């Protein structure tokens, strides 16, 4: 039951969960949600208005938020959104649930590496070299961005960049391990798909 609940919350998406958390504090307009979301993350995660309003409509369909009022003025109407009791419970459940970190098991570079080993094995080292060059570039960029921040005012953002730096450094170490073992990998038998019976399956009597 717990795993199912966590999976459902994860499928809801980070933006929708963030909207619920912000609305649990107090009702807000769509543009205010977007600006506060981006400010909280220091500009590292930008949203457009379409993402906000499509997320609000999805949450409203699920009974997690409601349109509380519409403010009319000289400009476009402003729709004020509020969280429901169910939405508050959903937000609280999100905060209490861990965030799965199994994304590496569906990594695009790993996919590329496996396919080049299967189809063009002599190109494997050049694939590793290109990826390593990209990671060093990212490492340089992340370090520069981190060093520009004042730890007395932007400590949370520094810690986020530290996390990205550590992951990038770990990725570089992993590439070194792969290159060292590349000949061993190529010496192993290639993957073979499981055999499937031909023809139509028999009908159950």
What residues contact residue 175 under an 8 Å CB cut-off, 6+ apart?
A: 128, 131, 132, 135
Instruction: Give me the phi and psi of 28, to 5 degrees please.
Output: -145, 160
End-to-end CA distance of the chain: 36
Confidence band, pLDDT 50/70/90 cuts, at residue 193? confident
The Cα 191–Cα 122 span in angstroms is 17
CA neighbor of 87 nearest in space, from 63, 57, 106: 63
The Cα 138–Cα 168 span in angstroms is 8
Q: What is the pTM of this model?
A: 0.72
CA 155-160-164 angle, to 5 degrees, is 140
pLDDT in tens, 66-119: 998 776 665 556 789 999 999 999 999 999 988 777 667 778 899 999 999 999
pLDDT of residue 45: 82
pLDDT of residue 103: 64
What residues contact residue 174 under an 8 Å CB cut-off, 6+ apart?
A: none
């Amino acid at each position: 039951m717990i795993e199912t609940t966590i999976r459902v919350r994860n499928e809801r998406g980070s933006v929708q969960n963030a909207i619920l958390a912000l609305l649990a504090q107090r009702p807000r307009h769509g543009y205010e949600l977007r600006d506060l979301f981006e400010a909280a993350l220091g500009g590292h995660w930008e949203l457009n208005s379409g993402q906000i309003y499509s997320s609000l409509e999805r949450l409203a369909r699920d009974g997690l938020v409601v349109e509380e009022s519409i403010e009319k003025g000289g400009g476009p109407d402003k729709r004020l959104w509020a969280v429901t009791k169910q939405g508050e419970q959903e937000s609280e459940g999100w905060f209490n649930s861990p965030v799965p970190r199994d994304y590496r098991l569906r990594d695009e570079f790993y996919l590329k590496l496996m396919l080049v080993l299967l189809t063009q094995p002599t190109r494997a080292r050049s694939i590793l070299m290109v990826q390593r060059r990209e990671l060093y570039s990212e490492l340089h960029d992340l370090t520069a961005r981190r060093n520009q921040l004042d730890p007395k005012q932007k400590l949370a953002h520094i810690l986020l960049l530290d996390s990205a730096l550590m992951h990038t450094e770990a990725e570089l170490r992993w590439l070194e391990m792969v290159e060292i073992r590349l000949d061993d990998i190529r010496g192993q038998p290639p993957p073979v798909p499981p055999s499937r019976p031909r023809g139509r399956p028999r009908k159950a009597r």
